[in-house]
Structure 1
């Protein structure tokens, strides 16, 4: 789960869906992979800045994040794209959401907890409470003078707790703390927006969560069946994941990232009057996370006698299964030969191996297979108008050929 949810792999899954359904997957900022797409990013950034200048608006800012980072470590903002010519680890770089919704002048994000209870059939539950994490320096539009202001631009608790302006909540109803209950924030927003606007935003968040889970579902199922042999009970696993979401000043939710292992700690550390680090219970964390874990365990226990799954899966596809896939599914023809399939496999495998945070052990992972499938579809149906049409056509063709193989075996 952690590998699938890491910034680069999640982005690849969402990008694949956005190529097929651009209007449905517009909730994730435009993203590039470094160093894989360094040249493309620099060219795109120059083009974006030219449009900014022609429209007489501030230059677009970009946020750079380590693909394998967490807790805000290694994140920084840039406007000059040439600053990303040298990197010593995989990064993603995104268009920065520079017009966030503010409360009392402060930027904030939302941590929303989601329970994946079952994968087959899929069962996903949204917890009705969450956290809002606030920056600790009053927000200003990004400029060269303030790009370095982490306490202004980043909302990560692990960073802002070091700020002299950080306010620990004394109780769960506090409205000026740096960490607040999500329902408290919704109430505050209710003073700025109409009930229908708030409800529409909540529905957009639910829609975003559903679409994100659907984007990663195939690979989740593959990993699930790989990790659980047939000799063990299946459908007994569950996971709490954390969606980090920011609202624009127009109340549009944008997905920042998905955390496979959101913190369930209910304490915090701070320096007391004697200058010593001490741990104390956090009322707001306790109020939210204890019921979250309790209700999750109740649901899991209630479903412990569910039937076993009969699926089998493989974490990666090596060259021979990829050739079998091309042959059995009727992909090989005059325009696509088996040597060209081998060459495509080698190209995608080498690309995946070079830029993946963890090199594939035996072959193509699911996101790499999807990329290969898209390329096969484009080669097989070069005259079709959209990627969605040709991918749909190739899927239907594969199903038809698989049905023929099944019929022949009966």
Structure 2
């Protein structure tokens, strides 16, 4: 880092941990020799990454009085990697726009394990987030879904699943943001639409939670009433049984007299 400006070195899902490279000593003869550049870059990055994941913590009280200079990491340089999120969540939350859009996409995927959004899921997203109105009907929603999905599927290489891929959903989300908040720049349009969607989804989740509690309470009350009714049924029929027994005895007495 220079002047607190981050410099991107490499983005790799499976980066090499080697600090040597092949060098041709003679025609056709190669040998692995240490690379000063790899050693300077990779050792520092890997060391600081491990220190962020599992920082050195002094748990025992007697270590607090221990001289810091004798610690194994005392001679190491200061960290070149800093934890941005969630340590500074409030300060850097505006950088999580793509992450929050991804959360919306995953919520409406439906079937577990799928990576593409179907038409029903996209319509549910529009309906639950209250994005359809008189100027943007559900028919327009279907047209938007078909156009963007078809365009991305034509350039994509994954044809095992049908539906809207993540990139297509981002494009559709940007289109909806530009349509709803026309006077704002694109980053603010996207942020405003994310806030709008998250608010309505939170309200929907709260309603479902309240309804679920109400159903459970009604079921418990119904079970209690049924139990009480079963307990009261014999007592309620006791007078009728007594009258039937008295009438039977009276008939037997009359037959005995005659």
TM-score by length of 2: 0.48
TM-score by length of 1: 0.32
Higher relative contact order (CA 8 A, sep 6+): 1
More helix per residue: 1 or 2? 2
More strand per residue: 1 or 2? 1
Give the number of the structure whose alpha-carbon radius of gyration is greater.
Answer: 2
